[in-house]
Chains A and B, each alone.
Chain A
Amino acid sequence: MDTYLQFVILGLGLGAVYVALGNGLVLVYRATGIINFAQGAMAMWGAYVFAQLRLDGSLVLPVGRIQLGAGPTSVAVSLVVALLTAVALGLLAHYLVFRPVRHAPALAQVVVSVALMLSLQALVVIRFGPNNISVESIIEPGSIDLFGVTVSSRELKMVGVMLVLSVLVWAYFRFTRAGVATRAAAENERGATLRGFSPDRLAALALVMANVVGTVGVILASSLTGLNPSNYTLLVVPALAVLLVARMESIGTVFVASLALGAFQSVINLLVLKPWWPTWAQSGIEQVVPFLVVVVILFAFGSRLPSRGSLQTIPLPDVHIPRLRPVAGTVVLAVTVVLLVVTRDAYRFGLTYSIILTLVALSYVVITGYLGQISLAQTAFAGAAGFTLSKVTTDWDMPFLLAVLLCSVVAALLGMIVALPAFRIRGAQLAIVTIAASLAIERFVFNNYSLTPPSGNPIADPHLFGMNLAVREGATLSRLSFSLMVLVVVTLVIVAFVRLASGDTGRAFLAVRANERAAASVGIDVRQTKLIGFGVSAFIAGLAGCLIGYSAGQLSAESFSVFVGLQILAVTYLGGITSWGGAAVAGVIGPLGIIYVLFHDLFEMGDYYALVSGLALILTAILNPVGIAGATRSQIDWVRRRIGGGRSPAARESAGAAADDAPIDLREVSDVH
């Protein structure tokens, strides 16, 4: 029993961070209606500033640094400077990032905050380095007696600090005129204006307070864990779970639920060491808990969750019904083949990887662009397929094509399970559930040494009809036959996608995306449509996962991490989330793709890749929601209009034309392939 109590207390330290981030999430949500996925990353910046000041007295800015003293700065000065940094960051985030998207669709808001998170994380890597740094504690370590058990006092003091801050935030909402006006603004913006406050100022204030509270939490906790660029960024996920539990509004619930979650996760870590606990379930279980909590809460209360900013019919970018153009398609294919033939090693591999990434991006196009569901779990689906591939090719010797199909079906089934919460919720809340699912799968499966040994899960090389399709052989790092196999698979999937998107299925997807109850009133089974959408999109992601696995010869967890998933979502949004052309652009600029390789090799700026793509994403989400592909299309339309003058270049082809022409084109193309 004593040990349990000690672990509960230890868990409160983690819980205190959740309290800090959860307070911030509530503040920002109530003031802006935006769910701030960057809450952890923003708080982490201030904590890094603090740690660096305590280390050598230099104040690190995004560009340049200021030396505040010869040696380490005192705790008080460091704390003040770090919190001032947090204030500045909150203001910057508000005016540069969140304010421009305050009336944008939920998807743009999710994308913007995810982009901010990726950018900050990348900036931390560039400015402070990728490795864990240890941080000296502000609170003296010590121990006290609790019910006759000696427990660490530091965690209890952290909880005390967070209790004070939570009470302050609660009092802000309850008693100050600004806080009351913020609550009114959550109902409608006029409510706040009527009370003499500009909703914009209130939002700026909320972001500043959120970031200060969050930064305090991370500074305190970083002395327990050290700081590294990814751990505190992702700590936002359990905090998001807490946000849902607190119905997006209750500070009291945030406080209690955060501590409970922290304590529970800590105790779980004790339980898994018991002999009766199955070995395969030892690691990552603490991440499964927040996910399960969220799912249970949603099923119990889902329909009653407040849904500001997510229930309005979301004006996502328009969709241009695709058609297969045999000539243009053949030209693109031929150019790609030539490029693959003339390149070698790293460049050919980068190109091939770009083609594979197109598939992952296409899975986002299906689920988000067409069906309007925000899923952040696509790489988890891909990873699940890759994981299965390793098992079936090495343990069972399953042949290439069959194995790929089977593994993609496994991914599709997983996708349909993750679709279940989408029956109840939409928009940003679904994004929370799917990122929680993704993290749970990553930690529970891919980082689980009893399922995935440190040496990796080897994947047998693909062979078909006596052809060796392996990616490597001897000194050749990137074989042409592998690249061509990838190209064939991806081309077939794109053809299938175009048929689906221009057919009845695509139209039903778009109807659900536009208006769910209207969709039900014309006979569409909305739930089944979502299952199909998640299934198809996870199937496509699964195919990509298999190809990624073959390209590495083994399953590596890093290829399928939550961050990679977010990065691919970022580039897909950048490319254009409503078309396969956008997916292709995403493939080209995506992580490990050809542009990435060029960044690394030609400019030696690999670290800047993540930063540049994050910032570009923020800009895209604010300025141009149709992405590069959509923007290019409007340029082409403009040129056509000037030259041809004849046909009206409407935003989309006329449906009649699509219905009548497309299948004819499709026939011709199916002959080509």
Chain B
Amino acid sequence: MSTDAPMGAHGGLRAERLTVRYGGVTANADVDLDVRPGEIVGLIGPNGAGKTTFVDAVTGFTRSEGSVTLDGERIDALRPHERRRRGLSRTWQSGELFGNLTVRENVAVATRPGGVGTLFRDIFWPRRRSDGSVDRALSLVGLGDEADRLARDLSLGQQKLVGVARALVGTCKLLLLDEPAAGLDSAESLEFATRLRTIVREQGAGALLIDHDMSLVLGVCDRVFVLEFGKLIFSGTPDEARTDQAVVAAYLGVPMENADA
């Protein structure tokens, strides 16, 4: 995978000079970050560094300055659902499933999100069955057997995987994953990494992965960005990250060298 020239003209997601302020706090300061199709990019940083804020800003859930382009098209004026429909999908750190819907419905709702046309079709010409993409996405994340359970009955780890499946269906050009493996043990985490690779390869989508599990991030990502106090302090390959002074300092106490041992 290529590691340099991140700002060249290409498809995928590109955020330039992205700035988010919450009152006096600058949660993101002039962040430049890009993710190309077929690539897994890591975004790490201590708690409160602004990782979630970055995802919120890019997907339109919080007000921001700067520009966001998807496949060369400006999307920063669009509302969140419009960005999703163009293929910018996200998951949430806290799951945010529809607790009273089943797992399958949680995913299916992303394939057919309703609208005026849907309303009349529902009433006058109800659809017979789904096209199978929902079940495919569920088995991709390994939850094929849980499809008929209520989402709120799953463990948090499983809920986040449902979130991933929900982000995958429909048009998905770019996945933003906010700590998707936080509820998984290390074996499950490893399995998730393998699955993520498969997903990215099969769908040709790009992915931005936020996680605290260094071995997961450094092991699976092609490139890594590091945020601290809202500012990017590093971008480069996982190998470079392991030896970078600033990154090590930000993660003082975390033994980076051993992280992926």
Q: Which A residues form the contact surface with B (CB < 8 A)?
A: 313, 315, 318-319, 496, 499-500, 502-511, 514-515, 517-526, 528-529, 532, 536, 650-652, 654-656, 659-660, 662-664, 666
| Chain B residues within an 8 Å CB radius of A505 | 114, 118-119, 122
Q: 9 tightest A-B contacts by CB?
A: A508-B114, A503-B122, A522-B110, A518-B96, A654-B148, A514-B98, A523-B84, A520-B80, A523-B113
Beyond known contacts A315-B100, A500-B122, A522-B113: 20 more, CB 8 A cutoff = A499-B122, A504-B112, A504-B114, A504-B118, A507-B101, A507-B105, A510-B100, A515-B97, A518-B92, A518-B96, A519-B98, A520-B80, A520-B84, A522-B110, A523-B170, A526-B81, A532-B116, A655-B101, A655-B104, A663-B126
Given A517-B61, A521-B80, A521-B90, CB of A508 within 8 Å of CB of B113: yes
Query: Whole-angstrom distance between the alpha carbons of A521 and B100 in the complex?
Result: 17
Mask, B83-102, CB within 8 Å of A = 1, is 01100011010001111111
Q: Which of A519, A521, A656 contacts B104 (CB 8 A)?
A: A656
Q: In the assembled complex, which residues on chain B have CB atoms less than 8 Å from the CB atom of A651?
A: 150
Task: Indicate if the CB atoms of A319 and B109 lie closer than 8 Å.
Answer: no
**Which residues of A sit under 8 angstroms from B101, Cβ to Cβ?**
507, 510-511, 514, 655
In the bound complex, residues from chain A placing their C-beta under 8 Å from that of B110 are 522-523
Q: How far is the CA of A526 from the CA of B99 in the complex (A)?
A: 18
A70 to chain B, nearest CB (A): 63
Nearest residue in B to A662 (C-beta to C-beta)?
A: B126
Q: Tell me if B127 and A521 are in contact (CB < 8 A).
A: no
Distance A536 CA – B89 CA, assembled complex (angstroms): 30
**A663-B122 contact given A507-B101, A515-B98, A656-B148, CB 8 Å threshold:** no
Determine if A521 and B92 form an interchain contact, defined as CB atoms under 8 angstroms apart.
yes
Give Cα A524 to B106, complex, Å. Answer: 12
Q: Nearest A residue to B97 by beta-carbon distance?
A: A518
List 5 A–B pairs whose Cβ atoms lie within 8 Å, in order of A's numbering.
A504-B114, A507-B109, A511-B98, A515-B99, A662-B126
Q: Complex Cα distance A507/B92, Å? A: 20
State the CA gap A654–B104 with chains docked (Å): 9
| B43 CB–A CB distance under 8 Å | no
Interface of A is mostly: helix
Cβ contact within 8 Å between A503 and B126: yes
Instruction: Name B122's contact: one of A504, A519, A655, A660 (CB within 8 Å).
Output: A504
Residues of A within 8 A of B166 (CB): 522
Using Cβ atoms and an 8 Å threshold, which residues of chain A touch B92? 518, 521
Q: Please indicate the chain B residues that have their CB under 8 angstroms from the CB of A514 in the complex.
A: 98-101
* B147 within 8 Å of A (CB atoms): yes
Q: Are B148 and A655 in contact (CB under 8 A)?
A: yes
Inter-chain contact B81/A500, CB cutoff 8 Å: no
In the complex, which of the residues B80, B112, B128 contacts A663, with contact meaning CB atoms closer than 8 Å?
Answer: B128
A504 to B130, CA, bound (A): 11
The residue in chain A whose Cβ has the minimal distance to the Cβ of B94 is A518
Residue of B nearest to A666 (CB): B126
A-facing mask of B108-137, CB < 8 A → 1, else 0?
Answer: 111011111011011100111110000000
Q: Report the minimal beta-carbon distance from B47 to chain A, rounded to whole angstroms.
A: 21
Between A319, A505, A662, A666, the greatest number of chain B beta carbons within 10 A of the residue's beta carbon is seen for A505
Expressed in whole angstroms, the minimum distance between the Cβ of A536 and any Cβ of chain B is: 7
Closest A residue to B169 using CB positions: A522
Assuming the contacts A500-B122, A507-B109, asked whether A524 and B81 have C-beta atoms less than 8 A apart, the reply is: yes
| 8 Å CB contact of A525 from B81, B109, B121, B150 | B81
B123's contact among A496, A515, A650, by CB below 8 Å, is which?
A496
User: B98 contacts which chain A residues (CB < 8 A)?
Assistant: 510-511, 514-515, 518-519
Which B residues are in CB contact (< 8 Å) with A659? 108, 129-130
Nearest Cβ distance between residue A406 and chain B, in whole angstroms? 18
B122 contacts A523, CB within 8 Å?
Answer: no
Are A521 and B59 closer than 8 Å at their CB atoms?
yes
CB distance from B214 to the nearest CB of A (A): 27
